[in-house]
Amino acid sequence: MSRQTLIAFLRGVMPSGKNAVKMADVRAVLGGNGFDNVRTWIQSGNIALESGLAADEAAVRIHDLLHTHLNVDLAVIVKTPAQLREILDGNPFADEAYDPKRVFFTLCNTPLADTAGLEAQDFGSEKLHIRPCAAYLYIPQDASRSKLGNAFLEKQLGLSLTTRNGNTLRKMMAF
């Protein structure tokens, strides 16, 4: 299989504590185990790399390598740059009525479906759209106080998810 660029997002990377992991260690582990041109951006689990694996296979391999070598159990979401472009292009909050800095993209390795009826719920000024490729969140206030947090969506949808802003997705596509 030919090698392709993949973008991996680690869920729950923390500067200290249970899921503390240095990006230099991530680069060393992945680079020494079948991934090439491993690059990380900031200390929050954003990784660009090259692999002969499909995105879903790479997610499992990265998870297993980090668990084995660094003793961390982190959800790993992997997308191709084309998938990230599709996610950004599908943003339902792209018009001028919404502050782009308050739009967040929740990613998953499997297609999302609103099986919990979340979109019909009233979240006040916060908005949620769930599409197969991503859940889109508009959170006009402090995201850390939002009901529409990653943990809430994971519980409701029963899936491992990770959330990033548009700037991070664009940066990783070009990284």
67-109 pLDDT per residue, tens: 999 999 999 999 999 999 999 999 999 999 999 999 999 999 9
Torsion of CA 42, 21, 3, 159, to 10 degrees: -100
Backbone angles phi, psi at 35, to 5 degrees: -105, 145
Full residue range of the structural domain in which residue 112 is found: 82-174
The total number of structural domains in the chain stands at 2
Percent of the chain with pLDDT over 70: 99
- Express each pLDDT in 115-141 by its tens digit: 889 999 999 999 999 999 999 999 999
CB atoms within 10 A of CB 85: 14
Average of per-residue pLDDT values in the chain: 94
Q: At what angle do helices 166-174 and 81-89 cross, to 10 degrees?
A: 150
56 shares its domain with 107: no
What distance in Å separates the CA atoms of residue 39 and residue 37, rounded to the nearest whole number? Answer: 6
pTM of the predicted structure, to 2 decimals: 0.95
Boundary-marking domain end, from 14, 47, 79: 79
